Structure 1
Amino acid sequence: MSENNILEMTNASSNFGKVEIAPEVIEIIAGIAASEVDGVSQLQGNFASGVVERLGKKQHGKGIKVELTEDGIVVDVHVFMNFGISIPDIAKQIQENIRETLFTMTGLDISEINIHVVGVNFESTTEPEVE
């Protein structure tokens, strides 16, 4: 890893050069992977990301924090869950989906994926039946 927080990967099978992946790219990939899991209502964002989304641009990296440590890459995910689901089961699915997606897309192995449940969404996404 370089001193400016960019992940460097070298490909042993070729001598073309190096590939650098910014932590923001990992945040975006992890955010999309977490959002794909049924039971996740939304990822936690801040005021700025809420304003940007209202203007029509999707913030895929919100609620994700990537930290490059001596032991490896640590991903923290802050999510709101839907009411009525098993939080431990959904959290495990989020961890598995993020790990698999990041490995498939970047070849990186993540040392930790920490799930922080910051809220529960009680609103139903289905329309009530009208008699």
Structure 2
Amino acid sequence: MSEQPASAPVIVPAPATSPLPSAVAAALKRDGAGLVAAVVQQFDTHEVLMLGWMDDEALHRTMTSGRVTFYSRSRQEYWRKGDTSGHVQWVKSVALDCDGDALLIRVDQVGAACHTGTRTCFEGRDLEVQTGEAV
């Protein structure tokens, strides 16, 4: 058995009582806190709206309710997007990436996705970079 390099993330196995279908629970690669990154994208324009975190329960709620639920790392609790702001995310699809360590949640976003009130959490936050072109 080979050891993981020091920079490799800790992968946590599925909880024994995961509410997810067993194949989904087995495919997820959770971080040390049991969470998976969830990229949220507007389903029709393909805008990347935000990044949130989900554990098995948050993903289960998202897959079965039609609304996106995240797990707040700072508050240590579940929160359903839009319950207090009215800026609801209606689920259109959920996909797991090829490595099992990230989710793509396609939504129909009502209002701002960012807690700052902007449409996306990336709006107006571009960094200066050297760009490239395909040859």
Q: Is TM (by shorter chain) over 0.5?
A: no
Q: Greater Rg, structure 1 or structure 2?
A: 1
TM-score, L = length of structure 1: 0.28
Point out the structure with the larger helix share: 1
Structure with higher RCO (Cα < 8 A, 6+ apart): 1
